[in-house]
Every structure is written in structure tokens, then in C-alpha cells.
Amino acid sequence: MDWNTQIIEEFRANEGRVGGPFEGAPLLLLHTTGARSGKERVSPVMYLADDGRYLVFASKAGADTNPAWYHNLKAHPETKVEIGTETVQVRAEELHGEERDRLYERQATLYPGFREYQEKTSRVIPVVALVPVP
């Protein structure tokens, strides 16, 4: 079983809580549709709650390329997330400029690994707001 599958199973078995490197961190399961394949994907992702939105950071641990889920959201922004025991329908909206910078800084202050990720890469790590839809 791969690493993501283990985290997803642990998340679902423990009402959204996991151990290991994500212990105590706010984690959601992001459902995406493959930009090319059209297949459903599920990715465990840290998030930052922001005024009813869920912010996710396409850090890929500081790699020079964006994670696959980011490309999938750009192609198919209407999706859903699992948070705790709830499933929420959301629309993905990428943040830019001052808003992006301010919220990335908030995440990097709370979780310094995100500051290290930005320092490791020359790309600007995208911040995506997942906005609940009725």
C-alpha cells in the first residue's frame, strides 16, 4: 500500500485524524478529476481555514513543479473535500498578489516547513481557496 493510501485509510478510520508527520495538523482529503486521464484522485493535503474557505498550498515539498492535484483543479475546479467526517462540495479559486502572499505567510508562520518549501524553489507556490458551494 502506498503512502497516500495509508494516510487516506487512517483519516477515514479516525474521523479525520492521522498520526506520523501529519499528527495534529489540519488535513483534508482533496478529490480531483485527472486533467488528462479523467480519473478521480484523492490527495491528503494540509489546509488553512480562512473565513469559511479551505486554503491549500501547492508546495510539493518545495519541488520545482506543481503537484498533480493543482493541475487537476485548474482543469476541473468543481470538486469536493473530506474534512473530518464531512464531505463538502467546493469550487477551487487560485489566489494572487497580496492576498496570496499574506495567506502563504500565515501558513509559513504556523508551519515553518512551508517557508522552507518556498525557499527551495524558484516558482511561486500557488495558494488555492476551496470555497464551499451550496
Q: Which long-range contacts (CB under 8 A, 24 or more apart) does 101-107 make?
A: 103/48, 103/50, 103/55, 103/127, 104/57, 106/48, 107/48, 107/55, 107/57
CA distance 57 to 45: 8
Residue ranges covered by each domain of the chain:
3-132
- Give the global pTM: 0.94
70-97: pLDDT as tens digits: 999 999 999 999 999 999 999 999 999 9
Phi, psi dihedral angles at 38 (to 5 degrees) = 75, 0
Fold of 3-132: Pnp Oxidase; Chain A (2.30.110)
> Does residue 22 register a pLDDT over 90?
no
Q: Count how many Cα atoms sit within 13 Å of the Cα of residue 19 in the half-sphere of its side chain.
A: 1
